[in-house]
Amino acid sequence: MIRVGVIGTGMIGQDHIRRMTTVLSGVRVTAVTDVDARVAAEVGGRIGAAVHATGAELIADPQVDAVVVCSWGPTHEEYVLASITAGKPVFCEKPLATTQEACLRIVEAEVAHGNRLVQVGYMRRYDFAYRQLKHALDSGQIGAPLLMHCAHRNASVPGHFQKEMSITDSAVHEIDMVRWMFGEEIAAVRVLVPRRNRHGGDLQDPLLLILEMAGGVLVDVEISVNIRYGYDIRGEIVGEDGTVALGVQNPIEVRREGRAGLPVPADWRERFLQAYDVEFQEWIHALAGGGQPLGPSSWDGYAAAVASDAGVEALRSGGRVPVVLAEQPKLYVAEVPA
């Protein structure tokens, strides 16, 4: 039974607590903390977990085997570094940290520690359909990949959504996904800018990202954050011998009033509900087996940050921006083979 402490008991934190408390096997939430002490007390009280005044206290709690960080992005670096210092596994919701420099400091701390402790919350790698896509690619049945077409559509975004967040918050999922899918780094990023959607106000929405993979695969990604009809994620890989795409997944089809209607998920929670469950279950199983986490690493978090920064610069400049990474430490080499 892995005993987990959760830092940050807002919407996502509470969802992960629900998951670990009522859905998954082999885990117990033993401690919580939040910047809003009242919320932390309420949540902790409900599940019988210790309530700590600070993240540092929670990390130090001997009843905490592993840490889950769901707090505000700017606090991630501090809690992840503290967990590494304490030698405790830490699952950090994306982003790993808000700057690539901070991400690199975490990578360096983990390398100094000597083995993997950090996992970053990129849940697409745990989605059944994406896994089938990767499985089909890796099986060789479509030959070597050449192109990938993606779309990432949100029905709408909150009022505080900033222009750059189409890249740093939305496209970053595709950035992580293609690194995992093709097992190689992104070499350069471009951002093309079409007409602006009036529903997006001042946002530059939609965007068309072009990601060049190190091996020459070209990925185009539509990012739309005001598509209105629902949440929609597409992916199709073009290989030398054929193609493979995310398929159609409609639990039901209704025919009435002149048309056949297929439901569309309302948001990412609905679309990736099971992926989150699998993500946490596999993390818990890896820790329970005494091993290191196998999911997205701090290197992945760092590489995503660098590519995402390149995307933001490409959006500003209109040009092609290379993605320049630090040398990859040996600790992470197996994960993204050249």
- Contact by Cβ (8 Å): 277, 176: no
Pairing of the two strands 145-153 and 232-239: antiparallel
**Contact with its own copies (CB under 8 A) among 12, 47, 142, 294:** 142
- Contact by Cβ (8 Å): 57, 36: no
Q: Which stretch binds its own copies (CB under 8 A): 48-56, 254-262, 304-312, 322-330?
A: 254-262
- Residue 269 lies near its own copies (rule: CB under 8 A): no
Cα–Cα dist 211/209, whole Å: 6
Please identify, using beta-carbon distances, which residue of 45 and 143 lies nearer to its own copies. 143
Cα–Cα dist 331/78, whole Å: 22
**Contact with its own copies (CB under 8 A) among 90, 118, 217, 310:** 217
Q: Which stretch binds its own copies (CB under 8 A): 60-68, 114-122, 158-166, 220-228?
A: 220-228
Please identify, using beta-carbon distances, which residue of 243 and 292 lies nearer to its own copies. 243
245 CB neighbour count, 10 Å cutoff: 15
With a CB cutoff of 8 Å and minimum separation 6, the contacts of 190 are 209, 210, 314, 319, 320, 321
**Contact with its own copies (CB under 8 A) among 141, 269, 291, 317:** 141
**Contact with its own copies (CB under 8 A) among 151, 287, 304, 306:** 151
Q: Which two tokens stand for residue 112?
A: 């100094």
- Residue 334 lies near its own copies (rule: CB under 8 A): no
- Residue 338 lies near its own copies (rule: CB under 8 A): no
- Residue 253 lies near its own copies (rule: CB under 8 A): yes
- Residue 147 lies near its own copies (rule: CB under 8 A): yes
Closest approach of its own copies to the CB of residue 219, in Å = 9
Q: Look at the block and give the residue holding tokens 């639990």.
A: 251
With a CB cutoff of 8 Å and minimum separation 6, the contacts of 304 are 94, 95, 96, 120, 122, 172, 175, 176, 179
Q: Which stretch binds its own copies (CB under 8 A): 36-44, 118-126, 137-145, 329-337?
A: 137-145
**Contact with its own copies (CB under 8 A) among 115, 132, 162, 317:** 132
Our CA angle for 266, 197, 157, nearest 5°, is 40
Q: Which two tokens stand for residue 320?
A: 């092609």
- Residue 227 lies near its own copies (rule: CB under 8 A): yes
**Contact with its own copies (CB under 8 A) among 54, 115, 249, 317:** 249
Closest approach of its own copies to the CB of residue 199, in Å = 6
Q: For residue 32, what are the CA distances in angstroms to 45, 60, 150?
A: 10, 12, 38
Please identify, using beta-carbon distances, which residue of 74 and 263 lies nearer to its own copies. 263
Q: Which two tokens stand for residue 80?
A: 């992840």
Please identify, using beta-carbon distances, which residue of 87 and 263 lies nearer to its own copies. 263
Q: Which stretch binds its own copies (CB under 8 A): 51-59, 67-75, 81-89, 240-248?
A: 240-248
The residues in 178-207 that bind its own copies, with binding defined as CB under 8 A, are 192-199, 206
Per-residue x/- track, 282-311, its own copies (CB under 8 A) = ---x--------------------------
Please identify, using beta-carbon distances, which residue of 38 and 256 lies nearer to its own copies. 256
**Number of residues lying near its own copies (CB under 8 A):** 75
> What is the DSSP annotation of 32-70?
EE-SSHHHHHHHHHHHT-EE-SSHHHHHH-TT-SEEEE-
Give 228: exposed, middle or buried? Use CB within 10 Å, 0-12, 13-18, 19+.
exposed
Residue 69 backbone phi and psi in degrees, to 5: -105, 110
The residues in 24-83 that bind its own copies, with binding defined as CB under 8 A, are 24-27
